[in-house]
Chain A
């Protein structure tokens, strides 16, 4: 019993100190670290691809909608212009009313279309510039005709 007591107590001490050192169990990882990294990247690329596809589909839909609306309004403007050229008015008046028609169209377009516009304008910027070009061509043609009529 004599030598056993110090032995047991020293054994208990050693066990106790080992236990104190390790303490709580070490943080266990289910997957190796590089694997979690790769999974995260693939998930991210998948999400990006889906977002890209959705944006493409949405933009096509909005541009189709805008093209159909443009073809509605453009003939209306041309018709108005030709009827004005028929009736001789002072150039100032014609300019003003012409401008209000343009303005009205612009505002209508921007208020209804802007939500889709801002997401898609990267691809359709040129188309918008072309739209303005159309209006400007019509406008200048109108002026030239007025000049020759006078």
Chain B
């Protein structure tokens, strides 16, 4: 019986009335509790759904990396087909801009003006420099490029001496702290240091990769971590993450942050940084028992091989080794001679790259995710690395006599998660990663022989903590917004898929049909039925008006005369275009020539099978009038493509360009 009868039950003796009164109160309490628990559960579910949306989109974006990587390979392998005037493009794309200048060549030219009132580091660095930096960054000061470069040079020098895996030991009196992804969220790092103490000889740390990208203080985090490392090289351990990669930075924000904060010397910083990344260790092994790496493992993970490889040859996940198998020998020779002739020093001068096997081993370490399903299979969500099951974990841990794997790479609502029978721990240290209120951050303290202890936190901007329903509303709106932008960027394909199923041309589909098309076209595995109420209108028969999904969003047309399909395509691929432009723009001026712009588009178009008239694109470029002396400001170009949400009060641009 669910709905209690609250009506008057008539009168009786005084004690009976008292009983009836308390019975009524009991029933009333039950009603309220029942209702509240239902409401609370639905709130938590909405929060979970929002996180699922964020995560699916994030991984789908990473999968886009694979296509981009294929594009680069395609370009390199087919450069002979590239018309005569294009070699310049290829050189710019693949030529290494790192010449072996020494440190003086860089630093000698930089002067720190007297007016500089930011922090001044003193080499050799000591713990006072760590304090100095933290205080300065709390006041939002920016460290001068001179010091940034000094720190980077020194860090590279020290890292070069270190093996691929750091081996360290704990004791009951010397616990070690492991932190996961920080992604430029400086407040989280401050909070960790506040709760757990600064790094020191008695307070060692492992930072498990992904220090940068997405958040707005990647540089400050990197400086604090590198300076701490230089002061305590044996107690502050850094592992490389998949975002310690100069190409990932182009897409996910760090490159932009550097060029913005360091307008004069940003280019130099980017050049050195690229190298420093390649010298970061692949992992840390604690007490010969605990393996700490950023992503995960695969069934073929070979720690002995990984100990041996020349890790600094791993430049980027987007630059796989050029194939060198037998039947391509002729092509390789042609490639080789021509490569030399053009003066291209690619990451693929063949002695300078890893073997395919070695490269894949590193990718697995940086990109894989654990799952409940047994076995090992390609990580299709991300497009790199694999999914590994509990049997794989057992196999690899046993093979190397290890007890546990600690990794990061995935955002978890509670900041950490244990799986595979306690053998795999995920630790993620960027709270509110997707949105304020989306998740907690965590860190682990452990020492040999004791159970690991977990510490959670969440940064909150509000002085008084907002009630749960407000926080859930916020992240839900944000997630739905992102999803709608996805939808609009694939509008043409979606409509085609809907119409294929809509035989009667009624404009309506069943829930099942609509969900099927959404999942297929967008490639996102989401609870479409539950989300439908946020995305489309449904009639009383439960059928969906599929065009209603596009009603309150549209992509801003920077130029009226150009077709919607072109606008949609540029919007959809804007992140990839951002990376490509950044690579072509080797002097980081923000400008590329109209000619380069056009040829890059033509190549991109053919590889991605985009069917749009060249003339349309030319028209677009011309009309946008972003020409500055025959060059195009590509950041301005891409910024002009953004989604407008009808119900935004302020018509704010919603670009999430790197």
Does A associate with B in a complex? no
